[in-house]
Amino acid sequence: MDYQNSRVEYRGRVAWVTLDRPQVRNAMDERTLAELEACFSGLGSAPDGSAVACSVRAAVLKAHGADFCAGADVNWMRRASQYPPAKNRKDAERLVRAIRAIDECPVPVVAAVHGGVYGGGLGVLAACDVVLASADAKFCFSECRLGILPAVVSSFVLPKIGLSNTRRLYLTSEVFGAETAQRIGLVHEVVSRDGLEAAAAKSAAEILKNGPRAVAMAKAYLAKMAALDRKARIKFSLDTLVKARSSAEAKEGLAAFLERRPPAWLKEC
């Protein structure tokens, strides 16, 4: 894809994806969402369709400019408000597909957040595996102030921060800071603005130490596990463990541990 509203840079085994519409505070429009979907759908997919590619093992999502993401682009919202219901629904699916691409990306996604994050931008964060925020970051589910509601992002936000926090923040549309975001589980770590990119690089480096297929399996496992009842969870966990233990990667990991040597996958980084 010809990226216009974002940039993708590869640093070793890590893909650095940058939202790049600083003139509109990285607000998301049709083009931006299409680029995010294309980028994260492609990461971790080998040419043969296997779950994990040999190249990219982690991704960092960041933004250029004063804010991480101002939510939906107002011009896009204005156009969508004039659509008939069927076309409006199809248009709204763009946001779903973009967020799902991040959520279901086989490689872990680390978000490095600064400035403001509003509306749909919080859905993007909720789909990331690791979220690091600068101490000056600000967050807001602003939709109710515009006479709408954060409907689409709820599928990703609600499991992340729980019903109690979601009710408060949706219904007040209040702006909250990085410490509150960390307390409710939206953010994992608060760092200085100057140290944000280094912290993201460190988090990605920790991921690269792990078996790539084990990481992909763990991410997919947790997504499926969350939707099961207790009985089904136990069966699924046993089935998954048996499969993981018998894999070539697991055998290599155990052999490396017993032989006190680095596992083979570290040589690939």
Kindly report the pTM of this predicted structure: 0.88
In a domain, 1, yes or no: no
Contact (CB, 8 A) for 26 and 69 = yes
Closest CA to 207 of 57, 103, 62, 101: 57
Amino acid at 214: A
Same domain? For 189 and 135 the reply is yes
Contact (CB, 8 A) for 3 and 32 = no
At residue 49, the pLDDT reads 43
pLDDT in tens, 118-135: 999 999 999 999 999 999
Residue 10 token pair: 């590869």
Q: Domain boundary at 165, 188, 208, which?
A: 208
Contact (CB, 8 A) for 7 and 52 = no
The domain that holds 73 is classified in CATH as 3.90.226.10
Closest CA to 187 of 179, 195, 199: 179
Tell whether the model's pLDDT for residue 53 goes beyond 50.
no
Same domain? For 216 and 254 the reply is yes
Q: What's the chain's average pLDDT? A: 91
pLDDT in tens, 200-238: 999 999 999 999 999 999 999 999 998 888 888 788 888
Q: Helices (DSSP H) in 128-264: which residue ranges?
A: 154-172, 178-184, 196-208, 212-225, 230-245, 248-258
Same domain? For 82 and 25 the reply is yes
At residue 48, the pLDDT reads 42
